[in-house]
Amino acid sequence: MLSLGDKMQYRLRELREETGLTQKEIAEYLSCERTTYSKYECGKRDMPLRVVVMLADLYETSVDYLFGRVKNRGPYPKSRRK
């Protein structure tokens, strides 16, 4: 069974490869070095929550999906607050 961190690493790489983006392109989007993003993706460095949220937005999915807590890849519905 994969741990929470293992699931996230797997999903981050899977999503990046499916979208055809490079680690360098993701790093530029996150305003960090490619080596920093690589360490996030490999689980060698803890990822700040702000980065997790940015990646969920980029891939149009939920943070829960990235963490492996849900199987549904779609994003949560937008809030209808007034």
Each residue's pLDDT tens digit, 11-50 = 999 999 999 999 999 999 999 999 999 999 999 999 999 9
Which of the four pLDDT bands, split at 50, 70 and 90, describes residue 79?
A: low
**3 state DSSP class of 45:** coil
Q: Output the CATH code of domain 4-67.
A: 1.10.260.40
User: How high is the pLDDT of residue 75?
Assistant: 73
Residue 81 pLDDT: 46
Contact criterion met (CB below 8 Å) for 74 and 20:
no
Cα-based distances in Å from 35 to 7, 41, 42, 71: 20, 10, 10, 29
Residue 47 has what DSSP assignment? P
Overall average pLDDT of the 65-76 stretch = 86
Separation of first and last alpha carbons in the chain: 43
